Amino acid sequence: MAHTDDEIMTGQEAREFLKISRSTLWKLTKENRVPAYRVGIGKNSDLRYKKSDLVEWLEKNRVGSS
C-alpha cells in the first residue's frame, strides 16, 4: 500500500496543496525548483506532482532557524 505522501497530484491539486497561483506553480516548475513529471509525450503533455516531493521542497525552503 502506498504511503499518503506518495500521492500523485494534478497541477490544480498541487496548487491547492501549496496555496499558490497557476502562474507561480508554472514558474517554479519551469525553473526546475519544484519537481514535476510528464504524463504523455512532448512538451505539451500533462504534468503531475508527487506530494512527497512537494513536502520535501517546502521543508528545504523553510524560512527561519535551522
For the chain, list the domains and their CATH numbers.
4-60 (1.10.1660.10)
| CB-CB neighbours of 44 under 10 Å | 7
Q: Nearest-CA neighbor of 14 among 31, 30, 34?
A: 34
Per residue in 27-64, pLDDT (tens digit) is: 999 999 999 999 989 888 999 999 999 999 999 999 98
Please give the residue that has the higher pLDDT: either 40 or 19. 19
Q: Is the pLDDT of residue 66 over 70?
A: no
Predicted local confidence at residue 1, as pLDDT: 44
Residue 65 pLDDT class (50, 70, 90 cuts): low
Cite the beta strand spans of 1-66 per DSSP E: 8-9, 37-39, 46-50
